[in-house]
Structure 1
Amino acid sequence: MAGDLPDYYFRIRENGAAVFRVDTENRQRRIEMDQIAVVNIKNGEIKPQGDRRLTPEDQREIERWMASRVALLAERDIDDIHRAVDYLNLTTHWVQSKASDDQLESVTDALLLAMHDLRTVLVRKKAERMMKTMPAEGED
């Protein structure tokens, strides 16, 4: 089992992770985890733990993990948006077929405001994208 463990372990935190070097090559054959750094995904900062100096291998592995983590979080973000579209469709079906007057009264204003806000931002963003692709006036 110990041979299958990775050399590094990343304990996920709000904006990154605490980084540990995993050691199984000791006298007691115990798994030891030595914290070597803290990373912040938001600003790309890597802080060595205490007076420790990171090796080039440590640095490469941390940077590889950070790139992988950023990609995973981006995938999750877009998946959440696709789920929101599903929820909007399910909400429409619920409003049309199942909701009572009291239930509708309790959610209508909040839904209308949220949808209006979303629509406003989507329309503005779409217009901005379209303006980027249109040739400037006087160009052919």
Structure 2
Amino acid sequence: MSGDLPDYYFRIRENGAAVFRVDTENRQRRIEMEQIAIINVRNGEIKPHGDRALSGADTAACRDWLERRVALLAARDIDDILRAVDAMNLTTQWAQAKATDAQLEEVTDALLLAMHDLRSVLVRKKAERLLQGGAAET
């Protein structure tokens, strides 16, 4: 079993992870996990736990995990947005084909305000990108 375990375990936290070194090479043949660091995904900081110094391998493993985690979270963000687009399309179909007047009355104002807010942000951001693109060409 010890050959199957990774050298490090990353316990996910809200803003990153607690990093543990996994040890199975002890007299009792038990799995021991020693916390060695904390990783902050927001600012990319890797802080050793307590008074310990991280080895080059420790730091490399933490940086590798951090890079993969940031990519995973970015992919999840895009997936969430694409799911929101699907939900908007399903909501449109529901409003057109199935919703009662009472149901529409209950949700219309909230939907209109949320869509207006989203549209305003998207239009502003699109204009900023177009202006930046035009400024880069001149």
TM-score bracket relative to the smaller structure:
over 0.9
Residue 63 of structure 1 aligns with which residue?
Answer: 63
Q: Is 1:7 the counterpart of 2:19 in the alignment?
A: no
Q: Please name the residue that 2:118 is paired with.
A: 118
2:112 maps to a residue whose letter is: L
**TM-score (norm: length of structure 1):** 0.94
Q: TM-score, normalised by structure 2?
A: 0.95
Cα distance in 2 for partners of 1:29, 1:5 equals 13
Which residues of 2 match residues 1-140 of structure 1 at below 5 A?
1-134=1-134
Letter aligned with residue 66 of structure 1: L
The structure-2 alpha-carbon separation of the partners of 1:62 and 1:135, relative to structure 1 and needing over 3 Å to count, comes to closer
Distance in 2 separating the partners of 1:120 and 1:96: 24
Q: Following the alignment from structure 1 to structure 2, what is the Cα–Cα distance between the partners of residues 64 and 99? A: 49
- 1:133 deviates by 2.0
Deviation at 1:102, TM superposition (A): 1.4
User: How much does 1:135 deviate?
Assistant: 5.2
Cα drift, residue 116 of structure 1: 0.2
5+ residue gaps in structure 1?
Answer: none
Q: C-alpha distance in 1, partners of 2:133/2:42?
A: 30
